[in-house]
Homo-oligomer: A and B are copies of this chain.
Amino acid sequence: MKNSFFSRFTPKEPKFFPLLKQLSEVLCDASIVLIESLQHDQPTERFDYYKKIKELEREGDRLTHLIFDQLSTTFITPFDREDIHDLASCLDDVIDGINSSAKRLAIYNPRLIPESGRELSRLINEEAVLICKAMDELDIFRKNPTKLREYCTRLHDIENQADDVYEFFITKLFEEEKDCIELIKLKEITLELERTTDAAEHVGKILKSLIVKYA
């Protein structure tokens, strides 16, 4: 019985911050493979990249659930339980978004990827790098939240940039693309990329609320 009365009160000191850091590194890796995947136009290549990302997505899933499980069996946590839960869950959402984007690229297989799609993947990578840096601040921002606050602001700005790229691209796509099936492919792939930048900004919102709560 893991959760006997006593075991729940014995601090087990699981390493939540290193686990979150690891999760953010998986996110970074996935975002790099995503950029690469958008530079290839052969179906088999696109499927190969998707498979690589899918493996990373599973690793992210494993880490996320490891964090959840440790949360549920640990009595003492560095933040409130829900805060660590939300943070891990949100990092996982970003990785899921990258996975969905790569999957759509592989199974829809559009003729070519517009520059806007590649631009969005670079913005996702920029966000991933910021999130990865932010994880290093988790055990120090209570004393000095300056850096963490700056990362949040930049996540917010990048998301606004991504919004503009997406809206400009879709407006033009619906004005110009006459091939309906090609339009569907590009619309759905860029939508998933844009949603992924949203998910990354959501991590920023959670980090910002941690600053309000603890710093």
User: Which A residues contact B (CB, under 8 angstroms)?
Assistant: 1-3, 65, 68-69, 72-73, 103, 106-109, 142, 167, 170-171, 174-175, 178, 180-181, 183-185, 187, 205, 208-209, 212-215
Contact = CB atoms under 8 A, between A and B. Distances in A.
Nearest to A206: B68
Nearest to A213: B72
**Would you call the interface of chain A mostly helix, strand, loop, or mixed?**
helix
B213 A69 contact: yes
29 contacts: A2-B213, A2-B215, A3-B213, A3-B214, A65-B205, A65-B209, A68-B209, A69-B209, A69-B212, A69-B213, A72-B209, A72-B212, A73-B212, A73-B213, A103-B167, A106-B167, A106-B171, A107-B170, A107-B171, A108-B174, A109-B171, A109-B174, A109-B175, A174-B181, A174-B185, A180-B180, A181-B183, A184-B184, A184-B187
Question: A-B pairs with the 9 shortest C-beta distances?
Answer: A180-B180, A72-B213, A69-B212, A107-B170, A107-B171, A107-B167, A108-B174, A180-B181, A68-B209
Which of A65, A103, A208, A213 has the most chain B CB atoms closer than 10 A to its own CB?
Answer: A213
A204 to B, nearest CB: 11
